[in-house]
Structure 1
Amino acid sequence: MDKGAPDAAAEFHDFFERHHVGLARLAHLLTGDADAADDLAADALVAIWHRWDRVRAAEHPAAYARGVVAHLARSRIRSAVRERRRVALFWPHRSEHWNGPDVPAVVDVQQALRTLPFRKRACVVLRHAFDLSERDTALALGISVGTVKSQTSKGMAQLEKLLGGDIAAELVGGRR
């Protein structure tokens, strides 16, 4: 261990304490799975610890961490889709029974978010649930500011169709 290691460990501990809850919340919003969210946040923080020298030297370490969570969430979603396809090959007769809410008026924002493609969902969640700027969202996802603008706009338009314009506007505080 070098002389800087205790300082690095203390810095990482502070980073962990400040960002763990937010990273888990982001993972939950991206995957829709509360149980997987803590695992994803922990996996992201382990990956960050392994690259801590590089991360702490970055201009925006928190944006880097959100990018790691987004990448891990995307990988988990893709794995789940592949697994569902494999299962469907063996059990093609799916039940038509719906286990959803009995009341059709119930608005399920998480379900609506799950219908969005990953990039649109990530942009909407980071911009509106986390109140990040377009620039910070672009940094977290590794995309351009223009892409953030278009994906957020398209994602919100889809949510408005699914949830109704008034509900979607209320969710984001009237902001576009």
Structure 2
Amino acid sequence: MRAVVDDATAEFHAFFERHYAELVRLAHLLTGDADGADDLAADALLALWDRWDRVRGAEYPAAYARGVVANMARSRIRSAVRERRRVTLFWSCRNEKTDDPDVPAVIDVQAALRGLPFCKRACVVLRHSFDLSEKDTAHTLGISVGTVKSQTSKGMAELYRRLDPAAGAGAGSA
């Protein structure tokens, strides 16, 4: 049996080939989950395929795709937070406590990124890892350019504090 390939299917296939790796990388940096990033990008592309007639007519289809990944990442993070709260609530009812927990001595960039609020993290990742302009970042996230500027600046400052605690120690709190 021969498959019929129309223009829309061929365009989507080309779009997939061109942007899949980028969307996986974006998902990984936003969620901090290397294993789940591939699934998240695939889910986003499936959602794009379902709306391909609208997406292919968009002015910036790649920005639209990044926005879908960012929104799905936000949803997954929120779901994970809700699940952690349920688990924490369950375990808080138990009397067992650890007096001296094992805390990593070094905080790497991914751990520091995961510590940022989602909007700051997304702005930092899109601006510095994907080299998007402020305008493209704003378009991707559906926020203003001014918000991108402030969230990126604040996010980078927070990353520096997290990655170099000695730098923040002498500065006092703001």
Instruction: Give TM-score, length-normalised by structure 1.
Output: 0.85
Task: After TM superposition, give the deviation of residue 98 of structure 1 in Å.
Answer: 1.9
The separation in 1 between residues aligned to 2:76 and 2:55, in whole angstroms, is 23
1:80 maps to which residue?
80
CA contact 2:135–2:145 (8 Å) conserved in 1: yes
Larger radius of gyration: 2
Gaps of 5+ in 2: 166-174
Identity of aligned residues (%): 74
The separation in 1 between residues aligned to 2:159 and 2:124, in whole angstroms, is 10
The separation in 2 between residues aligned to 1:69 and 1:61, in whole angstroms, is 12
1:97 maps to which residue?
101
The separation in 1 between residues aligned to 2:107 and 2:85, in whole angstroms, is 28
Task: After TM superposition, give the deviation of residue 114 of structure 1 in Å.
Answer: 0.6
Runs of 4+ in structure 1 off by over 6 angstroms are none
**SS of alignment partner, residue 57 of structure 1:** coil
Task: After TM superposition, give the deviation of residue 99 of structure 1 in Å.
Answer: 6.0
Gaps of 5+ in 1: 166-176
1:114 maps to which residue?
114
2:171 maps to which residue?
none
Superposed CA RMSD: 1.9
Task: After TM superposition, give the deviation of residue 60 of structure 1 in Å.
Answer: 0.4
Instruction: Give TM-score, length-normalised by structure 2.
Output: 0.86
